[in-house]
């Protein structure tokens, strides 16, 4: 079988496609490894987990961070994903003049209800190759947090799966910890 020689799109070409209307402004897509990829529909559990996590991060870390929700980050010339949560260095212009780049990103969090395989697979590889030191995937269905650290060109060298009773600290903020369950729907006692 012969492999196809695929031409990858650059971030600039991707933006140009949106500017001239090839991509509709409401179309839910992102650029991953030079390819335009459709994003999954947002479920209610997904949205609630994002909101809980944002409030948790804002309340605990305050002005030390800026939390962006489902906004692009520019990893390199071929990848501009829109992670569910990106925890970035505060910027006086709120990133009006550019999307955050790896040197400005403390933590990326993807929330998975239907996207666990993609978030732990291709996205983890892309984030690792871009040098994102701390990448988490919150699995709302299984109440687990997949923690990826030690990035390399071959992927993350460390991957740990934590249950909802575990505590976690972002790499850049080791004095700030919280329980995985704080990002998830509360369990109802019967």
Please give the Cα distance from 188 to 186 (Å, whole number). Answer: 6
C-alpha to C-alpha distances, 128 to 67, 73, 120, nearest whole angstrom: 20, 14, 11
Per-residue pLDDT band at 25 (split at 50, 70, 90)? confident
pLDDT of residue 146: 98
How confident is the model at residue 21, as a pLDDT? 87
Residues 121, 137 contacting (CB under 8 angstroms):
no
Summarize pLDDT for 75-90 with one digit per residue, the tens: 999 999 999 999 999 9
Res 4: pLDDT:
80
Among 4-13, 94-103, 112-121, 137-146, which stretch is predicted with the lowest mean pLDDT? 4-13
Of 96, 103, 114, 89, the C-alpha closest to 38 is 114
CA distance 92 to 35: 32
101 vs 131: CA distance, rounded Å:
10
Enter the pTM of the model.
0.91
CA atoms within 13 A on the CB side of 178: 18
pLDDT in tens, 101-119: 999 999 999 999 989 999 9
Mean per-residue pLDDT over the chain, rounded: 93
Give the pLDDT confidence of 123-134 residue by residue, as tens digits. Answer: 999 999 999 999
For residues 6-20, average pLDDT? 89
Q: Which long-range contacts (CB under 8 A, 24 or more apart) does 26-32 make?
A: 30/72, 30/80, 30/81, 30/82, 31/78, 31/79, 31/80, 31/81, 32/79, 32/81, 32/122, 32/123, 32/126
Say if residues 128 and 102 touch (Cβ distance below 8 Å).
no
Instruction: Output the pLDDT for position 1.
Output: 63
């Amino acid at each position: 079988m012969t492999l196809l020689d695929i031409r990858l799109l650059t971030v600039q070409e991707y933006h140009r496609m949106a500017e001239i209307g090839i991509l509709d402004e409401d179309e839910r897509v992102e650029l991953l490894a030079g390819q335009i990829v459709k994003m999954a529909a947002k479920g209610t559990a997904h949205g609630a987990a994002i909101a809980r996590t944002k409030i948790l991060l804002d309340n605990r870390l305050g002005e030390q961070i800026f939390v962006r929700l489902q906004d692009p980050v520019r990893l390199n010339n071929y990848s501009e994903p829109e992670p569910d949560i990106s925890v970035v260095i505060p910027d006086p212009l709120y990133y009006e003049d550019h999307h955050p780049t790896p040197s400005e990103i403390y933590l990326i969090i993807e929330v998975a209800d239907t996207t666990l395989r993609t978030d732990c697979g291709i996205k983890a590889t892309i984030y690792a190759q871009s040098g994102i030191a701390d990448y988490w995937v919150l699995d709302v269905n299984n109440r687990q947090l997949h923690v990826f650290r030690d990035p390399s060109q071959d992927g993350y060298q460390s991957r740990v799966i934590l249950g909802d009773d575990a505590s976690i600290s972002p790499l850049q903020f080791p004095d700030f910890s919280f329980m995985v369950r704080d990002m998830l729907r509360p369990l109802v006692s019967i």
